[in-house]
Amino acid sequence: MKPYIVVEWNDTETEAKGWLCIHNLIKGYCSGGLRMHPNVSKQEVMKLAEGMAYKYTAAGSTDIGGHKSGIAYDYKKPDAFAVLRRFMIAMRPYISMGIDVGDDLGTKYDDIMKVLNEFGLGVPITKAQSHDVDFVKRKKAYEVFYLTARDEEFVFDTLSNAITGFGVAYAVDEAHKIKEGKKDARVVIQGFGAVGTSCAFKLHQLGYQIVGIADANMLVSCKNGLDVERLINGVNQFGEMDEKTFETSYKVHQNTKWLDIDCDILVPAAIENAINSGNADKVKAGLIVEGANIPVSNKADQILHHRGVALVPDFLANMGCIRMVDRLLFGHIEMDVQEVNRDIESICRKNTRIVLEKWISTKKFSRDIAKEIFKPTIQDIYPV
């Protein structure tokens, strides 16, 4: 299926460019994040939108198509919010038609909500949804839940920030058990933002040792395991670690050295193409679980497949938040923190098991297996 709509934008005040891509619509509705990063490209946004369509299919959604937007601009610049706002104003006709825009790499949900509230929209919905009294009531409750519910341990600001990383950790645990038949292992994580921190936290809870973490500035390692909670307490709003929270036994390296650390499992949870044709042969781990979207390039896929490395693709591993949105907004489960956590654990483990068991029995590459099973097939032209 080709992308249904791709819209390009040029900022009037800066050099920023942006794209909105709707991969598919279901009953006129789709959802996905808006990212901001200097290297964002049209191809990347299209690939990410396609990934969202796979993700909703894998999440069992029958109500949401895949969308992604991206702005090529430095999210740390002081005018980053003004650029984000101008992009959203330009895309308002699509957003108000019912494209749900969430946060993503380099953007914050609060900022996106600020603009949506300025539009008088709140979380965008379609005209048909706005005429459904039960849906509107549920959406109101969901908006409050999304912004205020917290994880059971109260470590993270919101459950929505933590649930994706938790799901990634469940996928790691399931995949490792299937592959090695045991539980404990050493993990290296690239990225210590929303996904990286919550994944590290849950993995630590599940008994894994986090032996390396890379952020935008550095890589920290310790062969006896890092104190994850302490590192999380020191992290700033950009997902950057604070060296003051490091123990003397920790080693600090350039972040590009993250594949040099001995480990059993890699979780790339930061940027796209982090594992590519130039470094895929350096991977020491036998298992990669994609916390980020498209962190492994197509060429790296081939290298890893030939080397027998197992992989859990992004659209299975990092579906936590979107599955939560689907289940709550469309009334499949109660707005309850424990129930959301149970649901995410169950689906992330189930999908991982289906794909990795087939990987073992067929020797096909696991991403190809997952793409066959969870291929999105719906694209409807819904009346406005």
List the one residue from 52, 58, 263, 269 that touches ligand NAD (CB under 6 A).
269
Residue with smaller CB distance to ligand NAD, 28 or 291: 291
Residues 106-135 close enough to bind ligand NAD by CB under 6 A: 106
216 is a contact residue toward ligand NAD (CB under 6 A): yes
191 is a contact residue toward ligand NAD (CB under 6 A): yes
* Residue 209 DSSP symbol: E
Q: Considering only 19-27, 117-125, 209-217, 326-334, which stretch makes contact with ligand NAD by CB under 6 A?
A: 209-217
Residues 229-258 close enough to bind ligand NAD by CB under 6 A: 238-240, 255
Partners of 10 in the β-ladder:
17
- The structure tokens listed for 228 are 């994850």
List the one residue from 34, 210, 270, 304 that touches ligand NAD (CB under 6 A).
270
Backbone angles phi, psi at 155, to 5 degrees: -90, -35
List the one residue from 53, 90, 105, 356 that touches ligand NAD (CB under 6 A).
105
Asked if 326 and 350 count as a contact pair (C-beta separation under 8 A), the reply is no
As a whole number of angstroms, the distance between CA 185 and CA 79 comes to: 43
Q: Which residue is nearest to ligand NAD (CB)?
A: 193
List the one residue from 215, 301, 326, 345 that touches ligand NAD (CB under 6 A).
215
- The structure tokens listed for 276 are 């590519």
195 is a contact residue toward ligand NAD (CB under 6 A): yes
List the one residue from 69, 209, 318, 351 that touches ligand NAD (CB under 6 A).
318
Strand, coil or helix: what is 67? strand
Asked if 315 and 48 count as a contact pair (C-beta separation under 8 A), the reply is no
Closest approach of ligand NAD to the CB of residue 384, in Å: 29
One-letter amino acid at 180 equals E
Asked if 67 and 30 count as a contact pair (C-beta separation under 8 A), the reply is yes
- The structure tokens listed for 42 are 């049209």
271 is a contact residue toward ligand NAD (CB under 6 A): yes
Residue with smaller CB distance to ligand NAD, 96 or 255: 255
Backbone angles phi, psi at 373, to 5 degrees: -70, -40
Q: Considering only 4-12, 191-199, 329-337, 364-372, which stretch makes contact with ligand NAD by CB under 6 A?
A: 191-199
351 is a contact residue toward ligand NAD (CB under 6 A): no
Give whole-number Cα distances, 19 to 64, 71, 97, 324, in Å.
20, 7, 17, 26
The interface mask with ligand NAD, positions 273-302, x = CB under 6 A, is ------------------xxx---------
Residue with smaller CB distance to ligand NAD, 82 or 271: 271
- Where does the chain have alpha helices with state H? 42-58, 80-90, 92-98, 109-118, 127-130, 133-148, 159-180, 194-205, 228-234, 298-306, 314-317, 320-329, 337-362, 366-373
As a whole number of angstroms, the distance between CA 74 and CA 80 comes to: 7
Asked if 210 and 189 count as a contact pair (C-beta separation under 8 A), the reply is yes
Residue with smaller CB distance to ligand NAD, 50 or 104: 104
Q: Which of 27, 42, 55, 68 is catalytic?
A: 68
Q: Does residue 68 have an active-site annotation? A: yes
104 is a contact residue toward ligand NAD (CB under 6 A): yes
Just list the catalytic residues: 68
Binding site for ligand NAD (CB under 6 A): 33, 104-106, 164, 190-196, 214-216, 238-240, 255, 269-271, 291-293, 318, 321
